[in-house]
Amino acid sequence: MKRTLTLVLALCAAPCLAQQHFLTLPYGSGEVVLTSGWFYDDGTLHRGIDYAFPPAEPFEVRATAEGYVVAVYDELSDFGEFVVQVHNEVGPLCGRRISLYAHLERGTTTVPFKNLSEVRNDITSEDFADWQTVSQGDLIGVAGRTGLAREGRIHLHYEVNCGGYAENKSDPYDIYDTSVHYPEPCGSEHLWTECPPVQPPNTSFPTGCGASPGGIITCILVENEPGEVGKDIWVTSTYAYDGVDFTPGGGLNDHELRTGGFSDWYYALLQFNTEGLPRAKQAWVAVFFVRSPGSFNQLLYLDRPLEDWDWRVSGTGRDRERLWWVDRPDVQVGSRLPDRPLLNEWFLVDITALYNDWVGGAYPNYGIQLRPHGNGNQWAIFASSNNADESLRPRLIVVPE
């Protein structure tokens, strides 16, 4: 779609979208509040979420999803009496999702007990035959002050990990993309109770387009829509994302464009229809940074694909629903972009020289590749042309010569 920019940008960003939630809150009472999030107030990692019923009342703890549960009590453990829950869901990078509900009041769980090594063995062998089956919202205990909480006030420590190992803990807010949909206003019934520590969205373009002296519109805006020449997608090196098998590397043509990685790699590719467009004084690709499941601190490279990458018509993988890693295009490796993308803001990639080479015929337009600098759980995830919120979709901005 080509249209002249009139700068109509909705104020409602990603959080406005509706979303199905894999996890619900680990309690039923509206009196319960979040007392400590993924980070402590001093910025150090907590790696779980604490909930309390002020000032320090016990409250019922409920299963956040369906699955199997077992209780553990270890007088010396930081967690005191706690419930381990195995979910049916499997994390894309690390294995089966497991929840932990800690500091429960002694003797309040009705769940069968095991010792920690038995629990570990069961998880390793995937044998949950003598665990108890629960549904989302089922009562599994009462918040107390066992373990580390013995000197403190009654609270629930809730955390989620993959595979049962401490190093694979995830912020529950990030699991299954719930962080994209942080509540607006925060506190919706099935959402987490606290807003994330992020800046409010800034959906305005920072430069070049929009209001100019005398109100003259100087920009051409190109957006992609299904069925047009333009397209965008993300591709990844290890996980297939096709629901059939873990590997080989695939990706998804969904509402996001992922760049980054957690030891593996995620690249984004974008192509706009530049047919019939004039040479540019300035040209940018603009993408909106919607979320990061890890560190937000990511630098990107701008590469030039040397061949077409239309996954819908060609490819060697199991389907034509995604661009498989082995089918990603050869590229001319480009330079590192000077700025870092910022969460909830537009990220402008200056492609002026490349754009003029496209429209001047020096190169065929196979679009661009955004390649991350790091993959140590560093991410920049942008809205794609499939994003439900049109105002956040990628666009090509051209200021004609």
Cβ of residue 46: shortest distance to Zn ion, in angstroms? Answer: 6
- For Zn ion, the closer of residues 104 and 257 by Cβ is 104
Place of tokens 């069925």: 227
Work out how close the CB of 41 gets to Zn ion at its nearest, in angstroms, rounded to a whole number.
13
Binding mask 153-192 for Zn ion (x = CB under 5 A): ----x-----------------------------------
Residues near Zn ion (CB under 5 A), total: 3
- The CA-based angle 233-344-209, given to 5 degrees, is 80
Q: Is the previous residue joined to 112 through a cis bond, with omega within 30 degrees of 0?
A: no
153 vs 373, which CB is nearer to Zn ion? 153
For position 327 contacting Zn ion by CB under 5 A, the verdict is no
The total number of residues written for the chain in this structure: 401
Shortest distance in whole angstroms from residue 179 CB to Zn ion? 19
Which 3 state secondary structure label does DSSP give 326? Answer: helix
Which residue lies nearest Zn ion, judged by its C-beta? 157
Write down the least CB distance from residue 66 to Zn ion, Å. Answer: 24
Cβ–Cβ < 8 Å for 274, 373 = no
What's the CA gap between 358 and 231, in Å, rounded? 16
Give the nearer residue to Zn ion in terms of CB position, either 62 or 157.
157
User: Which of 50/171 has CB closer to Zn ion?
Assistant: 50
| CB-nearer residue toward Zn ion: 103 or 304 | 103
260 binds Zn ion (CB under 5 A): no
Contact assessment for residue 230 and residue 280, using Cβ atoms and an 8 Å cutoff: no
User: In the range 130-159, which residues lie near Zn ion by CB under 5 A?
Assistant: 157
**Residue 287 CB, nearest distance to Zn ion (Å)?**
36
Which residue, 48 or 250, has its beta carbon nearer to Zn ion? 48
138/140 Cα distance (integer angstroms): 6
**Contact between 48 and Zn ion (CB under 5 A)?**
yes
Cβ contact 95:123 at 8 Å: no
> Distance between CA 122 and CA 89 in Å, rounded?
17
Listed ranges 23-31, 45-53, 233-241, 342-350: which one lies at the site for Zn ion (CB under 5 A): 45-53
* Least separation in angstroms between CB 50 and Zn ion: 4
Query: Which span (43-51, 185-193, 243-251, 273-281) binds Zn ion, by CB under 5 A?
Result: 43-51
Give the whole-angstrom CA distance, residue 87 versus residue 165.
14
| Window 96 to 135, contacts with Zn ion (CB under 5 A) | none
CA distance 141 to 196: 27
Cβ at position 164, least distance to Zn ion in Å: 18
Shortest separation between residue 81's beta carbon and Zn ion, angstroms: 15
Q: How far apart are CA 28 and CA 43, in angstroms?
A: 29
Binding piece for Zn ion, criterion CB under 5 A, among 12-20, 41-49, 108-116, 221-229 = 41-49
* Nearer Cβ to Zn ion (48/372): 48
Q: Which stretch binds Zn ion (CB under 5 A): 22-30, 42-50, 70-78, 363-371?
A: 42-50
Question: Kind and range of the H or E element at 395?
Answer: strand 395-400
Should residue 50 be labelled a site residue for Zn ion when binding is judged by CB under 5 A? yes
**Interacting span for Zn ion (CB under 5 A) from 48-56, 228-236, 247-255, 341-349:** 48-56
**Helix, strand, coil share of the chain (percent; to 5):** 10, 35, 55
Of 45 and 353, which CB lies nearer to Zn ion in the complex structure?
A: 45
The 10 Å CB-count burial string (b at 16+, else e) for 118-156 is: ebeebbeeeeeeebbebeebebbbbbbbbbebeeebbbb
Q: Which two tokens stand for residue 29?
A: 């009472």
Indicate the pairing of strand 395-400 with strand 280-291.
Answer: antiparallel
CB of 196 or CB of 260, closer to Zn ion: 196
Question: Three-state DSSP class for 304?
Answer: strand
Closest distance to Zn ion from the beta carbon of 44 (Å) = 12
d(CA 49, CA 55): 17
Hey, which residues between 5 and 24 contact Zn ion (CB under 5 A)? none
> What is the distance of C-alpha 221 from the center of its chain?
27
Nearer to Zn ion, 50 or 303 (CB): 50
Q: Which residues bind Zn ion (CB under 5 A)?
A: 48, 50, 157
